[in-house]
C-alpha cells in the first residue's frame, strides 16, 4: 500500500531534500532525491526539484511507494556487543544506525550487521525484515538494545517488554531547568492527527508513563535520568516536549543545537531476566563521546 506523508515547512531557505530527510529520518537523502525526481514529492501541489528552497508554510506531500520484496543481506558492520549467551545479544548501538530495513533504508542496518554474525536469527511471517528484534531504538538514539538469537528467547523477552517488567533508563538533555527535580509524566500517546508520522499526546492514545530525575543543570539545560514504565513510540521525546522541556538536538519534537547534530537521548541502562535462568541482569552504557562533548560545550 502506498504511504502518503504531509508536512508543513517551519522555516525559510532550507532545501527540499534536506528538509524531508531531516524530518523523516527513515528516508535517506539519496532516497528522498529519488522520490523527488520521480514526482513523488510535491510542494504546494506542484512538482519540485531537490534543490528548491522552501518558504515557511509550504505544504510538502510525500508519496512513498510500497516496498519491494526484500532479501536481507548480511553486512560486515562493526558491532559493540556488551553481552552474549546462547539466547541473546545486548548491543551498544551508535546513533545513526537504523534498527531494521525500511523504505529508504533497505540496508546498512543493525539487522544486516547482526546477520553477519548470526545468519539464523528468528523471524515471524509478518516480521520478515526484523529477525530477532525484541524492541527498538530511534535511529538517532544511541545505547543498549537486545537481539534474540532463537524463537523461544524472542517469545520470553517480548513477554517481559509487554508486561513492562524490563528496566529502561535513558540519559536525556532538555532545554530549561526542569522543576520539580523528580516526577512522573502521565499522558496517553497516539498518532498526531495533523501529521501521521509524528506522535502526540492524545486523549484516545495509549497509556504512557515516564519517570524522570534531574541529575544536574547544565547552563540553561537539564540533564535527566528518564525511566520508561511503558514503551510507546517516541515516548520520551513527546512527553518532555508536552510539558515544555524539549530535547536538545531533536529536530522533530525538540530544539536544534549548534553543538549537536543528533538528539540527546541515550539508552543508558537495560535490565531484564535471562530466558534460560530467569536471573535478573542489568547492563550500563556510558554517554558516547559526542554527547559528552556537547555537555562540555554547553556548560
pLDDT, position 193:
82
Give DSSP secondary structure letters for the chain. --EEEEEE--SSS-BHHHHHHHH-TTS-HHHHHHHHHTT-EEETTEE--TTPBP-TT-EEEEEEPPPPP-----------EEEE-SSEEEEEEPTT--SS-BTTBSSSSHHHHHHHH-TT----TT-TT-TTB-S---TT-EEEEEEESSHHHHHHHHHHHHTT-SEEEEEEEEES--SSSEEEEE--EEEETTEEEEEEE-TTSB--EEEEEEEEEETTEEEEEEEESS--TTHHHHHHHHTT-PBBT-TTTSB-BTTBSS--EEEEEEEEE-TTT--EEEEE-PPPHHHHHHHHHH-
Active site residue 87: no
Same fold, 3-64 and 70-163: no
Q: Is it the case that residue 129 has pLDDT exceeding 70?
A: no
The CA distance from 277 to 7, in Å, is 48
270 contacts 283 by C-beta, under 8 angstroms: yes
pLDDT, position 29:
81
Q: Which pTM was predicted?
A: 0.76
Residue ranges per domain, the chain? 3-64, 70-163, 168-267+292-298
pLDDT tens for residues 228-251?
989 899 999 999 999 999 999 998
The CA distance from 137 to 233, in Å, is 9
C-alpha grid cell, residue 12: 525559510
Please give the class, per CATH, of domain 70-163.
alpha beta
Quick one: average pLDDT of 280-290?
Answer: 97
C-alpha grid cell, residue 204: 484516545
pLDDT tens for residues 207-234?
999 999 999 999 999 999 999 989 899 9
140 contacts 247 by C-beta, under 8 angstroms: no
Which residues are CB-neighbours of 150 under 8 A, at least 6 positions away? 86, 87, 122
pLDDT, position 125:
40
Quick one: average pLDDT of 63-84?
Answer: 80
* CATH (one of 3.30.479.20, 3.30.2350.10, 1.10.287.110, 3.40.50.300) for 168-267+292-298: 3.30.2350.10
Q: Is 238 left (phi over 0), alpha (psi -120 to 50) or beta?
A: alpha
Q: Is it the case that residue 22 has pLDDT exceeding 90?
A: no
Q: Which CATH superfamily is domain 3-64 in?
A: RNA-binding S4 domain (3.10.290.10)
pLDDT tens for residues 3-17?
788 999 988 999 999
Q: Is it the case that residue 69 has pLDDT exceeding 60?
A: no
Catalytic residue among 138, 140, 203, 220: 138
Amino acid at each position: 500500500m502506498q504511504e502518503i506523508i504531509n508536512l508543513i515547512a517551519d522555516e525559510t531557505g532550507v532545501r527540499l531534500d534536506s528538509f524531508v530527510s531531516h524530518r523523516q529520518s527513515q528516508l535517506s537523502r539519496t532516497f528522498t532525491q529519488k522520490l523527488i525526481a520521480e514526482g513523488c514529492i510535491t510542494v504546494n501541489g506542484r512538482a519540485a526539484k531537490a534543490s528548491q528552497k522552501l518558504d515557511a508554510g509550504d505544504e510538502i506531500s510525500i508519496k512513498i511507494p510500497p516496498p519491494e520484496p526484500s532479501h536481507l543481506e548480511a553486512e560486515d558492520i562493526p558491532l559493540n556487543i556488551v553481552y552474549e549467551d546462547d539466547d541473546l545479544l545486548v548491543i551498544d548501538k551508535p546513533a545513526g544506525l537504523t534498527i531494521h530495513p525500511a523504505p529508504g533504508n533497505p540496508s546498512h542496518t543493525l539487522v544486516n550487521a547482526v546477520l553477519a554474525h548470526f545468519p539464523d536469527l528468528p523471524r515471524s511471517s509478518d516480521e520478515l525484515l526484523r529477525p530477532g528484534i525484541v524492541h527498538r531504538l530511534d535511529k538517532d538514539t544511541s545505547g543498549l538494545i537486545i537481539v534474540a538469537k532463537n524463537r523461544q528467547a524472542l517469545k520470553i523477552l517480548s513477554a517481559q517488554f509487554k508486561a513492562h517488567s524490563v528496566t529502561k533508563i535513558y540519559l536525556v538533555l532538555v532545554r530549561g531547568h526542569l522543576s520539580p527535580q523528580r516526577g512522573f509524566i502521565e499522558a496517553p500517546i497516539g498518532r498526531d492527527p495533523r501529521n501521521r508520522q509524528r506522535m502526540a499526546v492524545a486523549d484516545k492514545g495509549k497509556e504512557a508513563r515516564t519517570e524522570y530525575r534531574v541529575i544536574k543543570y547544565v547552563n540553561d539545560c537539564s540533564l535527566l535520568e528518564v525511566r520508561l514504565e511503558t514503551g510507546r513510540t517516541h515516548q520520551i521525546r513527546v512527553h518532555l516536549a508536552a510539558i515544555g522541556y524539549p530535547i536538545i538536538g531533536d529536530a522533530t519534537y525538540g530544539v536544534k543545537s549548534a553543538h549537536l547534530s543528533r538528539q540527546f537521548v541515550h539508552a543508558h541502562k537495560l535490565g531484564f531476566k535471562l530466558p534460560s535462568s530467569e536471573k535478573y541482569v542489568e547492563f550500563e552504557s556510558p554517554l558516547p563521546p559526542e554527547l559528552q562533548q556537547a555537555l562540555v560545550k554547553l556548560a
